[in-house]
Structure 1
């Protein structure tokens, strides 16, 4: 339980900043992702305490999950970039035809 309490103190002030003024709804959703990630880490630490995992074991699990999440997010972003590129090409081709 001690590890969980320490993590709660460390992770509670983490949030995405800079969007709250211009895009409050995006800011709120982005911070929900951070909150869920923090809750996931807390669950892992609680299980580690309950099952007496060694620190290197639960740390390896948190790293693996983090890497998988980042990879998934980057793949999603790559898909968005491809779609944006396709849309820009269509727009450019449409502009060329009208001039």
Structure 2
């Protein structure tokens, strides 16, 4: 978790700038952070099929696994409170499924 603390400290310099220029937020909520792996894999496969360089399946797994701890640490607060300093009346939370389709609330 020490690396995340360093990231948080470095991001503090940007909070005032973000609050100054961003008046409303849209947060896209995913049901399970591990679906990010499948999305990245789909993008890499499409790039390879288009003749562009792309990561192998194993490289994708390694790449995404580096971000999952941050997702698991930050997403619960982001989903419950919105971005740091955001106003609840200026926040739209949209939940999507693994196919990237919006989940309609009742």
Structure having the higher strand fraction is: 2
TM-score (norm. length: structure 2)? 0.28
Which has the larger Rg? 1
